Amino acid sequence: MPLLAEFFQNAQLPTMPEVAQSLIRTLHDDDSSSRSVRDILARDPALTVKLVRLANCARFGLPRTVASLDDAILMTGLGQVRTLALSACLNGAFPDISGLNRQEFWEQSMACAGYADWLARRLEVDPQAAWLAGMMLRLGEIVIGQRLPQALSEIERQPHLPGGRWERENLLLGFTESQVSAEMARRWNFPALISQGLDHASDPMASRPFCRLGGLLHLAELLAESAPKAGDAAAVREAIAALPQDVMGALQLDPVWMAEHLPTVDQFLDMSVLH
């Protein structure tokens, strides 16, 4: 894509922490163990302290206080600790951008990651890759805001209708934030599955062959933007009905099943990981 290649010329990308890169490699390493993940995390004392603090949050409801990284892994699970660590690393790698509400941005990123993980388990797609791609999907907007601050106000124009940012980005730039995120994933040597999914997330039906992760991410982001609340059955039905039927069909998702089992957005939001 010529426009995207031009955008990345002389671009100063955020540096992905070494700890995060090592953790990402363990996602697809069948030989990785709790001990190897623990040793990676232990390289960063500040991150270790944060993870122990987070493991003691009330939402985990643990029977006793977590006193060490080993305790956190044992009591909350390897996957949970790795997720918390990657969330903290991604947040720390990207600066505040004028014109972008940081809390809303990360809340939506967490929601997208949560819905991507939920859909991946239904569709037999790697849930860890889906979660990470969902968490990264909007990161490209921060880079756009750094490189082209004049475009950000138009991209963030209210109202924030589901899918509206992708449409405005394509009109303004000729590419989307998810495609910027895909290029960052490639430059950071993330697994190819993640970069391919991000590449096709904004327009999954254009990919040949159809990219299942891209379709899944497309739906996850739309759900994160429509944000059905707990107990609002009408909002859930409306959110499902508004999803693109061609993508739903390509993924063979049953809208009745989705309406009956759709998690509420609050289940995925934990801003404590970002402080």
Helix ranges, 94-147 (H)? 102-123, 127-136, 139-147
- Give the DSSP letter of residue 13: P
pLDDT at 190: 85
Highest mean pLDDT among 16-20, 129-133, 224-228 belongs to 129-133
- 271: pLDDT strictly greater than 80: no
Backbone angles phi, psi at 12, to 5 degrees: -95, 100
DSSP per residue over 210-267, as a string?
A: --HHHHHHHHHHHHHHH-PPTT-HHHHHHHHHTS-HHHHHHHT--HHHHHHHPPPGGG
- 33: pLDDT strictly greater than 80: no
Closest CA to 210 of 222, 196, 191, 192: 196
Which is higher by pLDDT, 170 or 81?
170
Mean pLDDT of 46-65: 75
- 1: pLDDT strictly greater than 90: no
pLDDT at 187: 87
pLDDT at 58: 56
pLDDT at 256: 92
CATH level 3 topology of 97-275: Hypothetical protein af1432 (1.10.3210)
pLDDT tier for residue 230 given thresholds of 50, 70 and 90: low
pLDDT at 270: 67
Mean of pLDDT over the chain = 86
- 197: pLDDT strictly greater than 60: yes
Sign for the pseudo-dihedral over CA of 193, 196, 198, 203: negative
Alpha-carbon distances of 96 from 46, 91, 99, 146, rounded to whole Å? 20, 10, 9, 10
Mean pLDDT of 64-76: 81
Q: Prior bond to 159 cis, omega within 30?
A: yes
Mean pLDDT of 39-59: 80
pLDDT at 175: 95
pLDDT at 182: 95
Least trusted range by pLDDT, from 32-41, 94-103, 152-161: 32-41
Those residues with Cβ within 8 angstroms of residue 90's Cβ, 6 or more apart along the chain or in another chain: 20, 135, 136, 139
The contacts found for 22-29 with CB under 8 angstroms, 24 or more apart, are 23/82, 23/85, 23/86, 23/89, 24/86, 24/132, 24/190, 24/191, 26/82, 27/82, 27/126, 27/128, 27/129, 27/132, 27/191, 28/126, 28/129, 28/191
Tell if the pTM clears 0.75, that is, is over it.
Answer: yes
pLDDT exceeding 70 applies to what percent of the chain? 92
What's the pLDDT tens digit per position in 126-180?
888 899 899 999 999 999 998 888 889 889 887 878 899 999 999 999 999 999 9
Which is higher by pLDDT, 158 or 8?
8
pLDDT tier for residue 218 given thresholds of 50, 70 and 90: very high
- 203: pLDDT strictly greater than 90: yes
Domain positions in the chain: 16-93, 97-275
